[in-house]
Structure 1
Amino acid sequence: MVDSTALFRGFDYLPNPWHSWRRRDVQGPPRTQTTHTYSPVRYFMVDFNLSRRYSGLGPHFEHPGWGGDKSVPEWRTAQLCDPFPVDVYCLGNSIRQLSAKHRTQGWKLIPGKKGFAFTEDLLSDMCQDDPSACPEMDEVVVRFEKIRRGLSELKLRSRVARKEENLIAGVFRSIFHWARQVVPILYRIPAIPTC
């Protein structure tokens, strides 16, 4: 989920929730006043109606089988499981499914993307079959930040392309993408803005 209100001029210019190619007032296409680079947005990974609030730091166990990702290893048994490693697995698996390398049946409608090879080691650690071997979410955040700091400015600004993209269309999209990147590079606007 994304909070993209910083990108639009007003409430009426936001995309319609049912038809994203139309404005909320259905008078035309949504118009952004800026881009993600100039006005950062916040992304939230939310599994609606499945959230729980726990008190204390002790172990918390739930019955398996909630959520949409049926590949979670803890759900192969009927035993109680800790939901926090399940969250790490589900987040890693949802990101891993975006790459064209790890597609499963339920994700075939979303086209595979290329350009995520730098996350392979972290995602494979997050998606292990043994829940006790999975890193905790705090460790995942630290490792991802370390990976991100190790990437070049060009890699951070590079385009995420479809895996089966037409060669000619890909060339034109790349030219348009890099033409849009000239001004932020000249003004030294960071590739990943902070909220």
Structure 2
Amino acid sequence: MTGDTLRLPSFATCSAEQAAKYAEDTYQGLWSLLSYEVFWQERFTFLKEHGYQLRPRFAPNWTPSWIGTNYDPFFCEDSILSMKHIIVDATRISDGARVTIKTVSRASDEIAIGRFLSSKELLQDPTNHCVPIIDVLDDPHDSSKGMIVMPYLRPFDNPPLRTIGEVVDFISQTLQGLCFIHAHGVAHRDCAAANIMMDARSLFPQGHHPVRLNYSPDGVHEISALNRQDHPVKYYFIDFGLSSRFQGGDVPLVVGTKGRDKEPPELSDSDPYNPFPLDIFILGNLYLHEFVQKYHGLDFLNALTVPMLQVNPNNRPSAQACYAIFQGIQASLTESTLRWRLRSYKETAPERVVYDTVAVAREGIYRIKQMIV
């Protein structure tokens, strides 16, 4: 991307004086690549040779596209900094699909476990909610590292869930996914909120920028997501860097305190513990903090979260038992309840009146459409 090929809307332009200031800021290093971006720039050509195209910002000898133009750098895609240290987005050249590439240590089990859960046979199971491994590449500059290629995913709560039914669907999919993982002898050990993402292509049929998430693919125009009720998404567990796999007569015991959730009482660097009940606690804690404690009307989930969060790991139900509890809860919910909006505890009284009025109107429109059909 160079200045003479840019075609941006008029609102992306600035005065000659401001353009000169942007140019000076650029020469002073304001938009220079960060150290971890340089890491990916050094692998740009290698990845391209293997079928993966990084964004123009990472190209060798990159020159900012706004230099020599009157464009505001904010509206130039190559000004957008990468926000992650060990991952980068890319485009698969063969079909234009967006992917994520992550650098991982060869000494960890992440590659082996990821490949196992991504085997052709296991990918055919609809309850498999593990992010698939598309490709594994050797790092051309560091033999102790590898690079795994996965589908591009978006945080599960961006955009936020809007209805009770969307929460129920999220819990259903994640419990199914945990049952699948455990049934195949794998304990995730870090299945916290940040490690559950979604394939959001149905919500953004025209795509979105991989870093500036609420903007068009070129990073210029703000966009809105479609709703999940009419455009379902699939949720995935990611990051198996702390995971353990047990086979045959292996005793499921581990040690360690690493992980995003520090509340599980059994975590220890010296006393071995069973990692399968740990997963139950972590997921139950996610449901509690992200849903029950944030929104009105989700108290029915207590029948699930309370047993999942038992202090004694031996008293927590298995993943299959949790899913059975949840299915009983799900069966008790009416369609109108599932369609009802999530009401945040932080809402003010005036906000609640307005949002409830809109929700009632939507429910009325829904019922009228059902009658017509």
Gapped regions of structure 1 (runs ≥ 5): 102-111, 189-195
SS in 2 for 1:78: strand
Q: Which structure would you say has the larger Rg?
A: 2
CA shift, 1:63, in A, is: 0.8
- Percent sequence identity is 26
**Quick one: which of 256, 274, 280 aligns to 1:64?**
256
The 1:57/1:179 distance shift into structure 2, 3 A limit, reads: farther
CA shift, 1:35, in A, is: 2.2
**Quick one: which of 276, 294, 299 aligns to 1:117?**
299
* Equivalent pair of 1:7/1:35 in contact (CA under 8 Å): yes
Aligned to 2:287: 95
* Equivalent pair of 2:214/2:224 in contact (CA under 8 Å): no
Aligned to 1:55: 247
Distance 1:162 1:79 in 2: 40
Aligned to 2:310: 128
| Deviates further, 163-172 or 131-140 | 163-172
Distance 1:126 1:25 in 2: 43
Aligned to 2:72: none
SS in 2 for 1:44: strand
* Equivalent pair of 1:64/1:74 in contact (CA under 8 Å): no
CA shift, 1:150, in A, is: 0.6
CA shift, 1:147, in A, is: 0.2
Normalized per residue, the structure richer in strand is 2
Distance 2:257 2:369 in 1: 50
* Equivalent pair of 1:64/1:81 in contact (CA under 8 Å): no
Distance 2:239 2:333 in 1: 30
Aligned to 1:86: 278
Aligned to 1:171: 353
Deviation by residue 1:14-40 (Cα, 9 ceiling, x = unmatched) = 2x34333322311212244x4212221
| TM value normalised by structure 1 | 0.78
The 1:185/1:46 distance shift into structure 2, 3 A limit, reads: farther
* Equivalent pair of 1:114/1:160 in contact (CA under 8 Å): yes
How many residues are aligned here?
Answer: 174
| Deviates further, 42-51 or 158-167 | 42-51
**Quick one: which of 202, 207, 219 aligns to 1:6?**
202
Aligned to 1:109: none
CA shift, 1:9, in A, is: 1.9
The 1:114/1:58 distance shift into structure 2, 3 A limit, reads: farther
Gapped regions of structure 2 (runs ≥ 5): 1-196
| TM value normalised by structure 2 | 0.43
Structure with more relative contact order (C-alpha pairs < 8 Å, separation 6 or more): 1
SS in 2 for 1:80: strand
**Aligned CA-pair RMSD:** 2.3
Q: Match for 2:289: what amino acid?
A: Q
